Amino acid sequence: MPDTATVPRPDEQDSELKRSITGRLLFFYTLGDVLGSGIYVLIGLVAAAVGGAFWIAFALGVTVAAITGAAYAELVTKYPQAAGASLYVNKAFGNRPLTFLVTVSFLAASMAASGSLAVGFASYFDTLWSGPPALLVSLVFVALLVVVNFIGITESVWMNMLMTFVEVAGLAIVLIIGIVHISNGDADFGVLTQIDTSGDYGSPALAVLAGISFSFFAMTGFENTANVAEETIDPYKAFPRSLVGGMVVAGLVYVLVSMAAALTVPVETLASSDAALLEVVKQGILPFSTDFMTTLFSIIALIAITNTTLVTIVTQPRVLYGMAREDVVPGIFAKIHPVRRSPWVGLIFSGIVVGSLLVIGTLVTEAGGGIDLVGRLATVTVVLLLAIYAIVIVACLKLRGQDEDQPFFRANTPLLFVGLVGNLAILYFTIYDDPHSLIWCAGLLGVGLVLFLAEYFFGSRGTGSQTPDLKEV
């Protein structure tokens, strides 16, 4: 009798995507996405909200995210197909409008994140070379990542793994600086228990909740892992270890880096900086030239941003591909390149949308729109993803007892309820703190209505879950 864990399921046999991602690559894919640019650029905002104990916000935030990751791990081992959250909601509720809303919400969040990261990349790039216009740098940056994605998923994941080593090295530098600072006897550990109640939030609980809200952009990314399920070797074994394990390691790194930063640099300095971790390097604690270390760390930050953006761009066309097979978006998005085996139509569409966001956002900013484009797009990303995370946990609970004829991972049920409450609490506070983000969310979701109407009026009425014939698309 063959091992049932290795028997291909029908959804594996039907896939046209290339199955080439090992469990080890998947772990680094998760770790690299979660340990992306968020910790490099958002730590100052979290410190400003909480105070010296801002490490608590990272610890609680990543706990909620890891519990949500366990729900994803259960669902992806039951349904190892592209499309992630959209697929799970479709399986659980069988409601096309709801499934499409989740699909568009995820795509909007992913594209908003890509735009925010591309602008951040241009800002860091300007510190090294101030010649090219920021918009041009952002557009070329996105275009190059689209090309890497088109070449193939294996190349993209290997590139992701290599960049993960670099960005982890950057965080290791911060940890080493903290260790040296402590060994010199200069650290005041009392700062790690200080919560600022003199600011806008007034109470320790609200200050920490605000910190979690600001930091949650750094927690996202693990959901992208589910969208490469059809390209993963033995997903039933690989996903629980790689997804949950990557989240746990990322959380530990976040807490340690937060503590090192708080012990090394005055909280007021961290709070007022757009690149707070760079302030740690500027302290000159290590026996190297401060200018050299600042330049090196800026390059590492660029690589970290590149890594995160690469994963978001990898995800977008695969969501479109998976949902095209479910008759939720037009079937053209299920088209696969015959040589590279990439979902190239969805990839081009995603690149165009992200590029349009950059152009429109730049024009609005230059016209005196009075917005922080990076911060606003990050908030929009968090709002949309928190809503999706809550729905995914509900879908996971609803699908219990269904499609369980093969081995799969089961998440802890009480923890899932804790994760659901946590996601909803953070979502409520984020909207309460920035209600204008809902206007931007509605605008991005409105763009998706065009795709919905196109599929509704002109799309096929198939049974779903069918891989299209490339000659007929």
| Residue 371 pLDDT | 67
DSSP helix/strand/coil, 63: helix
C-alpha distances in Å from residue 302, one per residue of 221, 249, 295, 368: 17, 22, 11, 27
Residue-by-residue pLDDT tens, the chain, 473 positions: 333 334 444 444 445 556 667 778 888 878 877 776 677 767 888 888 899 999 999 999 989 998 998 999 899 888 887 667 888 998 999 887 888 888 888 888 888 888 888 887 887 788 788 888 888 999 999 999 888 878 766 666 677 778 878 888 889 999 999 999 999 988 889 999 999 877 677 788 889 998 888 888 888 878 777 767 777 787 777 788 888 888 888 889 999 999 999 999 999 998 887 778 888 988 888 888 888 888 888 898 888 888 888 878 877 887 788 777 767 678 888 888 777 777 888 889 888 988 988 888 788 777 766 666 777 777 888 899 999 999 999 999 999 988 877 778 888 999 999 999 999 999 999 998 888 888 888 888 887 778 777 777 776 554 444 443 323 32
C-beta separation of 127 from 205 below 8 A: no
Whole-model pTM above 0.85?
no
Let me know if domain 17-457 sits in CATH 1.20.1740.10: yes
Q: Is 288 exposed, middle or buried (0-12, 13-18, 19+ CB in 10 A)?
A: exposed
Helix axes 344-366, 373-398, angle to 10 degrees: 140
Number of H helices, E strands in the chain: 20, 0
C-beta separation of 124 from 278 below 8 A: no
Token couple for 35:
């340990």
The domain ranges of the chain are 17-457
| Residue 468 pLDDT | 39
Token couple for 26:
């998947």
CB atoms near residue 303 (< 10 Å): 19
Residue 395: HSE in the Cβ half-sphere, 13 Å Cα cutoff: 31
CA dist 149 and 158 (Å) reads 11
Exposure letters 412-439 (e unless 16+ CB within 10 A, then b)? eeebbeebbebbeebbebbbebbeebee
What phi and psi values does residue 334 have, to the nearest 5 degrees? -90, 5
What phi and psi values does residue 232 have, to the nearest 5 degrees? -105, 135
